[in-house]
Amino acid sequence: MRKYRIGILGMGTVGQGFINNYHLNKEEIDYKIGGELDFVNVLVRNTVKKRDVNLDKKVYTNQFDNINLKELDVVVELIGGVSSAFEYIKKALENGCHVVTANKELMAKKGIELIKTARENEVLIRYEASVGGGIPIISTLNDSLSSNKIERLMGILNGTTNYILTKMTKEKMSFKDVLKEAQELGFAEADPTSDVNGSDAAYKLAILSKDAFGIIVNPEDISREGIRNISLEDIEYGQELGYKIKLLALGEKSNEHVELSVQPALIPVEHPIASVNYEFNALFIEGNVVGEIMLYGKGAGSMPTGSAVLTDVIDITRKKNDYIGTCSAKDIVVNNIGRSAYYVRMEVVDLPGVLGKIAVSFGEQGVSLDSVVQRARGGKHAPLVFITHEIDRATLNAVLESIQKNNYVLEVMSIIRVVN
Amino acid sequence: MRKYRIGILGMGTVGQGFINNYHLNKEEIDYKIGGELDFVNVLVRNTVKKRDVNLDKKVYTNQFDNINLKELDVVVELIGGVSSAFEYIKKALENGCHVVTANKELMAKKGIELIKTARENEVLIRYEASVGGGIPIISTLNDSLSSNKIERLMGILNGTTNYILTKMTKEKMSFKDVLKEAQELGFAEADPTSDVNGSDAAYKLAILSKDAFGIIVNPEDISREGIRNISLEDIEYGQELGYKIKLLALGEKSNEHVELSVQPALIPVEHPIASVNYEFNALFIEGNVVGEIMLYGKGAGSMPTGSAVLTDVIDITRKKNDYIGTCSAKDIVVNNIGRSAYYVRMEVVDLPGVLGKIAVSFGEQGVSLDSVVQRARGGKHAPLVFITHEIDRATLNAVLESIQKNNYVLEVMSIIRVVN
């Protein structure tokens, strides 16, 4: 079995997500890549620290020079920051290693230089995890939309600020209070400056401006404004006028110029990006052929970001993607039991006590109800609507059939699945 | 310059979108593929029919046997249906051509057989356009989420039925009336059966069940229910209870079985997929590592679907994706003029006529207002909130500065961009 030899620089939360993802789905991934990943070296500051990851102790080193790049297929850089990460990646590429990185600051500031070095050395550098965590944004812009010119990007690219704005909107909490709560829960950094002032989103937008517009931009040139000054009053007026406030990274390209900015913005509540809440991220893309596309998912976290790193590694190891499916399992059967909550509308006799009798009948037959709506219509018949808790469809059918035998139930009008 | 020789079977709306997309973005695409596409043969029934596409007349033929497969790199199948499409694709693969198809029925019924033929002949078959039009669903499941096991899919995969349900919900029109209107506008087929009864979505779900779950399913085994029986009453009760009704394609996989179904379903209004309206499609994916991901966009139409076909062709021609950007343009400048509508909140003196004076001041300086909110607060000061029409940020700043010189404007509290 072919072994792909991997060196990893840094073993924090993303590194652990990467390794744990591989071990969790190893069988399927090995099938896809026709081989397996061999984690040969891991560079860390502290080689004896306990980590939540299943790796042989002897792979750890605290000296980059102990890593024999000539023996590696892929180097995964998860140190962050610019100075040593840049030096290590450059050396890895020059020694014929493919590189995967999650480093947004580095890719924003030095991405094009590293891509050119990769090209000169006929290897690949991938950085899906640097923007939008587990959402496949970079590959979508470069591969899946390769037939389009991208005209506009609108991104919610920072989970911390989106969490804060969502909480302010939904719970009428002040910026300061939400930030404090988020820090206590670990959703926000002890020093949240780079998130809150828009710098983190600006780095990500700088990366996207290359992949969407083909433009190399210094991230310092992206105008930015943070969310510190957003008041509850503005959020409420926004709602009154039909808008939500989000921290938006905006890129718009015309023939002559590109506009790149990060700022709080009002978005119509009906717009798909307005429904992106809490720690979720999204990128709304306008292509000149495909029209509007949106990608949505978790923009941070050990597993989602680790998953993006692993996807890049898999992509590099696969020479040929022939889409035969995701695994070789054969003992799976299609079995539609229809287990779900259900909405049921029935026409009943409009007499006192009927609702109670029906609820009791359901209870006796093991069906519990989540909510009930009864509207008086002032006639002999009335509609009765309820939503059940989870139940198999066949059971529900049997119960409804039995309940229809009662003479106060006239007809079951609708049965519709409820999906969360 | 390398020429990629393409044969096309069928030249309807999708074929025309494919060709027109290439011509529209030819410079950038040729840069990406390091060559150009040469449309050598086009198989059509009627070779002299006028088509909205710029192709040399001599490429048309009405005989498949006139096409010399040995000379082609890629065959693009856009005939639809199963019988001849299957035969032609099989021959193309056996003759060493890569194949791109938009044919959902064929891929649902015979996909695995064609993929195996492609493998045996060491060529690729791609079918991004068969599900979700321009949305990169197939490549996301196969490539971008290759590190994940997919546990659940929830898709709005049919634009006609989503259009009908959206119109019913928003305009309280009956199913019958919306269908009639949609047919007149060309959004629905003269015979809408396959859309309305869920078959079209079931074909797409059968394709996705291979790419997401690794399961080969006969599309006839997918349980389905259409939207003909959805009444306005159910839609209204749903709203009252906090739900929207959508035609959902559902796939859920456990260790022992997979559930595959297409049916109308109630979805909580807060769920991202509930905001997918009109002709838009979306796929909501749950991966065992990445968590929730959603892809959103246009699921049909000449250009979006043509764009997916062209992306597959580009993907096949690119040996190496090194993500250097989308074009070689260099004369683009970053120029943040901040042209946008703006929300402005100011504190003003609470006297009769102040609103009018401010509106006049804006008008005199060329700023037109879209909406204004004034709330009496019962004190000396009151907040005044308005949204401007589009304006450059510098102009807005100048106007606000000048208006602040009036003694009835106390302070500008907030200026926030409004984005649509």
Cα angle A210-A214-A219, degrees, rounded to a multiple of 5? 35
CB contact under 8 A, A233 and B135: no
Is residue A227, in this structure, part of any structural domain at all? yes
Nearest by CB to A21, from B24, B128, B289: name it. B289
Which residue does chain B place closest to A330, by CA atoms? B215
Q: Which of residues 140-169 of A touch B (CB under 8 A)?
A: 140-150, 154
**Residues linked to residue B8 through DSSP beta bridges, in sequence order:** B42, B76
B202 vs A379, which has greater pLDDT? B202
Test the B interface: residue of A125, A289, A302 with most B CBs within 10 Å: A289
Instruction: Give phi and psi for A142, each to the nearest 5.
Output: -85, -35
Neighbouring-strand partners of residue B295: A295, B283
Give per-residue pLDDT as tens, B106-127. 999 999 999 999 989 989 999 9
Of A97, A130, A163, the last residue of a domain is A130
Return the residue in B122, B126, B148, B381 with the most chain A beta carbons within 10 A, the one to mutate for interface testing.
B148
Is A253 an 8 Å CB contact of chain B?
A: yes
Q: How many CB pairs under 8 A join A and B?
A: 413
The token duo for A71 is 């023996």
Inter-chain residue contact A215 with B325, CB threshold 8 Å: yes
Q: How far is A120 from chain B (nearest CA, A)?
A: 11
One domain, residues B141 and B126: no
Question: Is B292 in the A-facing interface, judged by CB distances under 8 Å?
Answer: yes
Asked if residue B360 is part of any domain, the answer here is yes
Number of neighbouring beta carbons within 10 Å of residue B412: 15
Question: Sorting pLDDT into bands at 50, 70 and 90, what band is A321?
Answer: very low
**B59 in any annotated domain:** yes
- Say if A177 falls within a structural domain: yes
Q: What was the pLDDT predicted at B1?
A: 81
CB-based contact (8 Å) between B31 and chain A? no
Residues A261 and A364 grouped into a single domain: no
The shares of helix, strand and coil residues in chain B, as percent rounded to the nearest 5, are 40, 25, 35
Distance from CA of B333 to the nearest CA of A (A): 5
Q: Are residues B143 and B267 in the same domain?
A: yes
Q: Out of B32, B303, B306, name the one closest to residue A146 (CB).
A: B32
Q: Residue type for B282, please?
A: A
Comparing A374 with B89, the larger pLDDT belongs to B89
- A87 within domain boundaries: yes
Q: Is residue A284 part of a domain?
A: yes
Q: Which residues of B touch A287 (CB under 8 A)?
A: 134, 307
Question: Does B347 lie in the same domain as B285?
Answer: no
Residues of chain B numbered 73-132 and touching chain A (CB < 8 Å): 112, 115-116, 118-119, 124-126, 128
A-chain residue closest to B150, CA distance: A326
Confidence band of A332 (pLDDT split at 50, 70, 90)? low
A377 at B interface, C-beta within 8 A: no
> What are the average pLDDT values for consecutive 10-residue runs of chain B, which has 420 residues?
94 97 95 93 95 95 96 96 96 96 96 92 94 96 93 96 96 95 88 96 95 90 92 90 93 84 92 94 97 96 96 84 41 71 90 84 86 78 90 90 88 88
Chain B within 8 Å of A378 (Cβ-Cβ)?
Answer: no
pLDDT-based confidence at residue A84 (cuts at 50, 70, 90): very high
Evaluate whether residue B236 is within a structural domain. Answer: yes
Do A37 and A67 sit in the same domain of this protein? yes
The per-type count for chain A, helices as H runs and strands as E runs, is 13, 17
Question: B144 and A154 in contact by Cβ < 8 A?
Answer: no
Question: Would you call B275 an interface residue with chain A, using a CB distance cutoff of 8 Å?
Answer: yes
- In 3D space, the residue among B263, B146, B257 whose CA is nearest the CA of residue B199 turns out to be B263
- Here the contacts of A59-63 (C-beta below 8 Å, separation 24 or greater) are A60/A11
pLDDT for A333: 63
Q: Which of A148, A223, A328 to mutate to test the interface with B (most CBs of B within 10 A)?
A: A148
Residue A378 has pLDDT above 80, yes or no: no
Task: Give which of A117, A213, A332, A387 to mutate to test B binding, by max B Cβ within 10 Å.
Answer: A332
- The answer to whether A248 faces chain B, any CB pair under 8 Å, is yes
Q: Which domain holds residue A380?
A: 341-418
Q: What span, in angstroms and rounded, lies between the C-alpha atoms of B404 and B395?
A: 14
Q: Which residue is associated with the tokens 């959020």? A: A235
User: Does the beta-carbon distance from B213 to A332 stay under 8 Å?
Assistant: yes
Beta-bridge partners for B244 = B267
H or E segment to which residue A105 belongs:
helix A104-120
Active site positions of B, annotated: 204
Q: Residue-wise over A291-318: b if at least 16 C-beta within 10 A, else e?
A: bbbbbbbbbbbbbbbbbbbbbbbbbbbb
Q: Are B212 and A329 in contact (CB under 8 A)?
A: no
Give the pLDDT confidence score for residue A216 in this predicted structure. Answer: 87
Q: What is the CATH number of the domain that holds B209?
A: 3.30.360.10
Q: Is A70 annotated in the active site?
A: no
Tell whether the model's pLDDT for residue A189 goes beyond 80: yes
If you measure CA to CA, which chain A residue comes closest to B338? A259
Are A19 and A55 spatial neighbours (Cβ–Cβ below 8 Å)? yes
Query: How many domains, chain B?
Result: 3
Cβ-nearest to B322 among A124, A337, A339: A124
Q: Please tell me the distance from the alpha carbon of residue A30 to that of residue B101, in angstroms, as a whole number.
A: 28
Quote the pLDDT of residue B333.
Answer: 64
Q: Rounded to 10 degrees, what is the CA torsion of A147, A148, A149, A154?
A: -140
In a domain, A119, yes or no: yes
Would you say how long chain B is, in residues? Answer: 420
Residue B332: per-residue pLDDT: 57
pLDDT of residue A367: 86
Is A331's pLDDT higher than 70? no
Lowest mean pLDDT across A252-261, A299-308, B180-189, B267-276? A252-261
CATH of residue A125: 3.40.50.720
B230 DSSP 8-state letter: -
User: Do both B208 and B350 map to the same domain?
Assistant: no
pLDDT at B350: 85
Are B108 and B206 spatial neighbours (Cβ–Cβ below 8 Å)?
Answer: yes
- Model confidence, pTM: 0.89
Closest C-alpha among A44, A155, A124, A144 to residue A312 = A124
Question: How far is Cα A23 from Cα A27, in angstroms, rounded to an integer?
Answer: 8
Write the CATH number for A396: 3.30.70.260
CB contact under 8 A, B323 and A266: no
Query: Do B153 and B126 have their domain in common?
Result: no
User: For residue A329, what pLDDT is reported?
Assistant: 40
Domain finish residue from A298, A316, A333: A298
Look up residue A19 and give its DSSP letter: H
* B257 and B216 part of one domain: yes
Are residues A223 and A350 part of one domain?
Answer: no
**Do residues B269 and B394 both lie within one domain?**
no
How far apart, in whole angstroms, are the C-alpha atoms of residue B93 and residue B111? 13
Q: Are residues A149 and A106 in the same domain?
A: no
Instruction: Assess whether pLDDT exceeds 60 at residue A320.
Output: no
Does one domain contain both A84 and A232?
no
In B, minimum Cα distance to A417 occurs at B265
Tell me the ipTM for this assembly.
0.88
Phi, psi of A309 (to 5 degrees): -60, -45
